[in-house]
Structure 1
Amino acid sequence: MTSRSRDLPGAQPRMHARTADLLAARIADGSLPPGTALFESRLAALLGTSRGPTRQALARLEAQGLVRRAEGRGYVVAGAARRPGAALLVGLDGLRLAPSASWERVYAEVERAIVARMAFATWRVVETDLARHHGVSRTVAREVIARLHQRGLLRRDDRARWYAPALTAVHVGELYEVRALLEPAALTAAAPHLPAGFASGLRTRVAAAMMRAEILDGAELDELEADLHVRLLGHCPNATLMEAVRLHQSLLVAHSFLYAWVPRLFPAEPFLPEHLAVLMPLEAGKVAESAEALRRHLRDSLARAVARIEQVKRAPQPPALPYLRSVP
């Protein structure tokens, strides 16, 4: 739907606008009282939407003052809370904005299965076996594979077969080399389009996380990574550049697995002060300095990523799956 079509009488509002309107209504009628925790992934699952529209909806509500960033991760409904951090359940019980697409019902499981094995080998993904294993049509399997490709997890070989490349030191080095070229450019392009207070909000979240860095869990680290590398860069208006960025961010997807399965390598996660070094000059309007700090952060992150992957390789390999075939 184009921006022009949204202005036509009777045009269906975009999903993020419908999500924002629904949440605003529930906040207004008290179904979601002050202090209610709002997590992007949880909301998307409850409402039957993807995380993109949910992220946009929460940003819109934050701009309207209806929600605020939580100290840990996610948002909370603004106002004086009788029960801080109240669970998000009752206020949205039984509501769905969209039916779950067939591919969504199996995607997360397939993504986890592939990511958990990429440290050990390169894997060819067989569409027919994927469909058979999960009891879905080949059309659904094809959609799952397309989404995995969009996330940068799958590539196509010269015979048009899909494969997930092994996370070798060489491959990971190439990913970070390309990211160090693309992401600072995306940050530079995004900077003029950031909402007021956006950079300061992210900086505040990182500073709060650093106060409890020794006890942050994998989910919280994932959210902080997404703040910088997904949400901030997502304001870049160059769609072609952003497509290239996403295709080389496969390790962001793998981080959730790596953080969960790899023992803590450092007393406090080193990327936190590095993110702060990106956000502080950005908040001050020093975009070139911020972009250079992002380039340094990606350069320094390479060795840590390789170290985590080497730790995974020492663990037992997950069991075989019929739709994944090891490539010599």
Structure 2
Amino acid sequence: MAENRKGQNAQRRYEIAEDVLRTNIAEGVLPVGLVLLEGPIAEILQTSRAPVQRALQTLEAEGLVHRFKGRGYLVGPGSDEPEPNRTDIKTLGLIIPQHADEALQNRASWERIYNIVERDVAGCVVFGQYRIIETELADHFNVSRTVVRDVLTRLRERGLVRKNASSHWIAGPLTAQTVKDHFVLRGILEPQALIASAPHIDRAALTALFGRLSTLEGRHTLDFLKDPSDIQTLFIDTCVLATPNEKLQELIRNNLLPVTAIERLLGLLGLPGDPIIITELRMIVELLMRGATAAAASMLQTHLEASVNRTIAQMKIVAIIPSPSATADYLTRVIEE
């Protein structure tokens, strides 16, 4: 019975997403040719990507949206290929009926707190090992332990937490060896994904990315150092995650979580990035624009090999920086398991 209720709740979420998108297409809020991406829609509806993904698949079957060579879907049946419209969907003022908003807001699930917990955990693991106590996490967010276990299970799937021999939930430490392990996987997955992505990359997005990288390359170093992770994320989204292999996309995203976490933390600590990253990414994009896919994949491999060395060098600096004086109250620093 509980499983049936769970399935019905999940169904309601994607049906609600369907109804919201269908209504906004019919009302013209979402114009023909608009690019629809799962992430921004999920953020607006405050749900996970899964129900949005399923909703878009249903709308595609109905002929209301269609896939194209770039990432995501275009509004419209696809009989006449319109020019992709990349207006930020958050600026369009989606019509969300009150009953739909309440249904989405009142869900008692891991989705409501996952992003906050992920951020809290990722922000401390580079400094050592922390224990997460289920009851304290539940009290902190005023949710059930079932919800907490769902959150922790997903964090474990993404490599941010684990259970030790005593069945305690442990986060970290994120060591040089674990970073190396993640980059080994990056070296296996991402160049192959780049090759698979090449025929599907949105050419306009690729050209725009090349222009942005070229501009950054010509600026003062400090312009790049303000947020090096932003341009790297854009590169991954545009060039690597354009692969139609959804399983490969998921593996890459999950493997990147700890790497992205440490890069952002290093930036927050004021550690300088390396401007050569911009040059390396610009070279990869330029090769893709020229149709030299194999050379671009080889350059990406070289970039990743250099990146792991840069990241570990920065982690050595972190080793002499005091750990944060304050973390979320459900995270307890431990010296050893």
Scaled by the length of structure 2, what TM-score is found? 0.68
**Post-superposition offset of 1:294:** 0.9
User: Residue 302 of structure 1 corresponds to which residue in structure 2?
Assistant: 308
User: Residue 153 of structure 2 corresponds to which residue in structure 1?
Assistant: 146
Q: Which has the higher helix share?
A: 2
Select the residue among 249, 252, 258 that pairs with 2:260.
252
Select the residue among 44, 47, 61 that pairs with 2:45.
47
Question: How much is the aligned-residue C-alpha RMSD, in angstroms?
Answer: 4.0
Select the residue among 286, 305, 311 that pairs with 1:280.
286
Q: Do the aligned residues in 1 keep the contact of 2:287 with 2:295 (CA within 8 Å)?
A: yes
Q: Do the aligned residues in 1 keep the contact of 2:124 with 2:324 (CA within 8 Å)?
A: yes
Change (3 A) 1:17 1:201: farther
Q: Using the alignment, how far apart are the partners of 2:206 and 2:179 within structure 1?
A: 28
Change (3 A) 1:112 1:285: same
User: Residue 170 of structure 1 corresponds to which residue in structure 2?
Assistant: 177
Give the letter for the 1:26 counterpart. V
Q: Using the alignment, how far apart are the partners of 1:256 and 1:205 within structure 2?
A: 20
Q: Do the aligned residues in 2 keep the contact of 1:124 with 1:324 (CA within 8 Å)?
A: yes
Change (3 A) 1:121 1:235: same
**Post-superposition offset of 1:43:** 6.0
User: Residue 78 of structure 2 corresponds to which residue in structure 1?
Assistant: none
Give the letter for the 1:173 counterpart. K
2:136 corresponds to 1:136: no
For structure 1, which runs of at least 5 residues remain unmatched after alignment? 1-11, 33-37, 69-74, 78-87
Q: Using the alignment, how far apart are the partners of 1:64 and 1:188 within structure 2?
A: 26
User: Residue 9 of structure 1 corresponds to which residue in structure 2?
Assistant: none
Q: Using the alignment, how far apart are the partners of 1:202 and 1:230 within structure 2?
A: 11
Give the letter for the 2:45 counterpart. L
Give the letter for the 1:278 counterpart. I
- Percent identical: 27
For structure 2, which runs of at least 5 residues remain unmatched after alignment? 1-13, 57-64, 66-70, 76-80
Q: Using the alignment, how far apart are the partners of 1:240 and 1:91 within structure 2?
A: 32
2:105 corresponds to 1:103: no
Q: Do the aligned residues in 1 keep the contact of 2:110 with 2:147 (CA within 8 Å)?
A: yes
Select the residue among 60, 64, 76 that pairs with 2:73.
60
Q: Using the alignment, how far apart are the partners of 2:314 and 2:181 within structure 1?
A: 17
* Counterparts of residues 70-149 of structure 1 (less than 5 Å): 91-92=93-94, 99-100=104-105, 101=107, 102-149=109-156
Q: Using the alignment, how far apart are the partners of 1:66 and 1:296 within structure 2?
A: 33
**Post-superposition offset of 1:289:** 0.8
**Post-superposition offset of 1:90:** 7.6
**Post-superposition offset of 1:202:** 3.0
**Post-superposition offset of 1:182:** 2.0
Q: Do the aligned residues in 2 keep the contact of 1:20 with 1:60 (CA within 8 Å)?
A: no
Decide which moves more: 45-54 or 110-119.
45-54
Q: Do the aligned residues in 1 keep the contact of 2:206 with 2:238 (CA within 8 Å)?
A: no
Decide which moves more: 41-50 or 134-143.
41-50
Change (3 A) 1:140 1:230: farther
Decide which moves more: 126-135 or 39-48.
39-48
The count of corresponding residues between Structure 1 and Structure 2 is 290
Q: Using the alignment, how far apart are the partners of 2:22 and 2:308 within structure 1?
A: 38
Q: Using the alignment, how far apart are the partners of 1:129 and 1:25 within structure 2?
A: 47
Q: Using the alignment, how far apart are the partners of 1:91 and 1:327 within structure 2?
A: 49
**Post-superposition offset of 1:183:** 1.4
User: Residue 210 of structure 1 corresponds to which residue in structure 2?
Assistant: 217
Change (3 A) 1:27 1:14: closer
Give the letter for the 2:135 counterpart. T
**Post-superposition offset of 1:279:** 1.4
Q: Do the aligned residues in 2 keep the contact of 1:167 with 1:309 (CA within 8 Å)?
A: no
**Post-superposition offset of 1:25:** 2.6
Residues 230-257 of structure 1 deviation map (CA, whole Å, 9 limit, x = unaligned): 4532233444444443342221233333
**Post-superposition offset of 1:318:** 3.5
Give the letter for the 2:303 counterpart. H
Decide which moves more: 182-191 or 56-65.
56-65
Give the letter for the 1:164 counterpart. A
Residues 54-113 of structure 1 deviation map (CA, whole Å, 9 limit, x = unaligned): 9x9984359843534xxxxxx558xxxxxxxxxx56834867777145433322321222
Q: Using the alignment, how far apart are the partners of 1:159 and 1:115 within structure 2?
A: 22
Structure with greater Cα Rg: 2
